[in-house]
Amino acid sequence: MRTVVVGTRKSTLALTQTRWVMDRLREANPRWELRQEKIVTKGDRILDVTLSKIGGKGLFVKEIEQALLDGRIDIAVHSMKDMPGEMPDGLVIGAVTEREDPRDCLITRSGQSLEKLPSGARIGTSSLRRQAQILAYRPDVTVEPVRGNLDTRLRKMEEGQFDAVLLAVAGLSRMGWQDRVTQALSTDIMVPAVGQGALAVQCRADDVEVLEGLKRINDSKTERAVRAERAFLRAFEGGCHLPVGAYAEATDGSIRLIGMVAHPDGRKVLRGTVEGSEPEQVGRTLAQQLLEKGAGALLSALRKEMSR
């Protein structure tokens, strides 16, 4: 028997995801005794400021990673899309779980689709990636920031603060709320966030026993797809709160990756596709392709605007 402590954020979504992973782990490793440890992160405590102002999505992950490094926990379950491109020394992703629906979706109060929403409709999202792509498709709507957990965002829409909100299908379906989706958006309109729909199960790089056990719940196709997406993201240094998206489909032999870099106002959206067999290579090649189309200048101008 080995006691394995699994760390998670305290949000209902994080707890649901962790419970799901713990069930898989229990099946795959009957000799493990699994215990759950809840960790409150800065991102969960500070809810009244936009994420990019307090340091981006990475802050949800950082404090949990510290608990791993300190040995307070042995395994951490994260939404893959919340993981920054780079990871601290000493930690690895030991397993990537099978990806759920990777798409973003629109939830409208009226039930109208994106095409039917009236001009001037207010859409709640704090993601620059979602903002850019929705404005590129519907330049006549307005985008307003919204923070908080999934239920908070849905409630704010129902109360009339917004006419619609944009969320990941995967988060809603893990909560059992897939019937709330008005319209799942095709990746032609909305390229998802890197890693969206997959879970990352992280551990210490030298914890051989845990690594062995995590391998048993790894989904190799999702892993290859996410490796390509993350290699793409890393090429744009610190891209986790920038308007960058990527989505890959992988078989055992090949990978097809689509990527997107945009200006938040939606007036410029650069997209590209690359196919290949080696995930990191595919990611870097696509990043290079978009850099040649002007993604570098776009993002450095944006970084300057955001740091003002």
Cα Rg of the chain (Å, integer): 19
User: Is there binding between residue 240 and ligand PBG (CB under 6 A)?
Assistant: no
Which residue in the shown chain puts its C-beta closest to ligand PBG?
Answer: 171
Residue 199: strand pairing partners: 79
User: Is there binding between residue 95 and ligand PBG (CB under 6 A)?
Assistant: no
Under a CB-based contact definition with an 8 Å cutoff, are residues 203 and 68 in contact?
A: yes
Tell me the site size for ligand PBG, rule CB under 6 A: 9
CA distance 142 to 231: 32
The least distance separating ligand PBG from the CB of residue 275, rounded to whole angstroms, comes to 24
**For the chain, how many helices (H) and strands (E)?**
11, 13
Which one, 9 or 138, has the nearer CB to ligand PBG?
A: 9
User: Is there binding between residue 11 and ligand PBG (CB under 6 A)?
Assistant: no
82 is catalytic: yes
CA distance 218 to 266: 36
Which one, 29 or 79, has the nearer CB to ligand PBG?
A: 79
Which one, 207 or 229, has the nearer CB to ligand PBG?
A: 229
Amino acid making up residue 307: S
Task: Rule CB under 6 A: choose which of 65, 82, 163, 223 binds ligand PBG.
Answer: 82
Q: Select from 63-71, 76-84, 255-263, 270-278 the region that touches ligand PBG (CB under 6 A).
A: 76-84
C-alpha closest to that of 203 among 213, 194, 193, 195:
213
CB contact set of 117 (below 8 Å; sequence gap of 6+) = 108, 110, 123, 138, 141, 163, 164
Which one, 197 or 259, has the nearer CB to ligand PBG?
A: 197
The least distance separating ligand PBG from the CB of residue 298, rounded to whole angstroms, comes to 23
Task: Rule CB under 6 A: choose which of 8, 11, 18, 79 binds ligand PBG.
Answer: 79
Under a CB-based contact definition with an 8 Å cutoff, are residues 249 and 225 in contact?
A: yes
Residues 186-215, one symbol each (x = binds ligand PBG by CB under 6 A, - = not), give: ----------xx------------------
CB contact set of 217 (below 8 Å; sequence gap of 6+) = 21, 24, 25, 28, 95, 97, 201
Checking phi first, is residue 231 left (phi over 0); if not, alpha (psi -120 to 50) or beta?
alpha
Q: Select from 74-82, 201-209, 245-253, 285-293 the region that touches ligand PBG (CB under 6 A).
A: 74-82
Under a CB-based contact definition with an 8 Å cutoff, are residues 109 and 160 in contact?
A: yes
User: Is there binding between residue 168 and ligand PBG (CB under 6 A)?
Assistant: yes
Q: Select from 63-71, 168-176, 223-231, 265-273 the region that touches ligand PBG (CB under 6 A).
A: 168-176
Q: Which one of the listed residues 23, 44, 74, 82 is annotated catalytic? A: 82
Q: Which residues bind ligand PBG (CB under 6 A)?
A: 79, 81-82, 167-168, 170-171, 196-197
- Residues assigned a catalytic role: 82
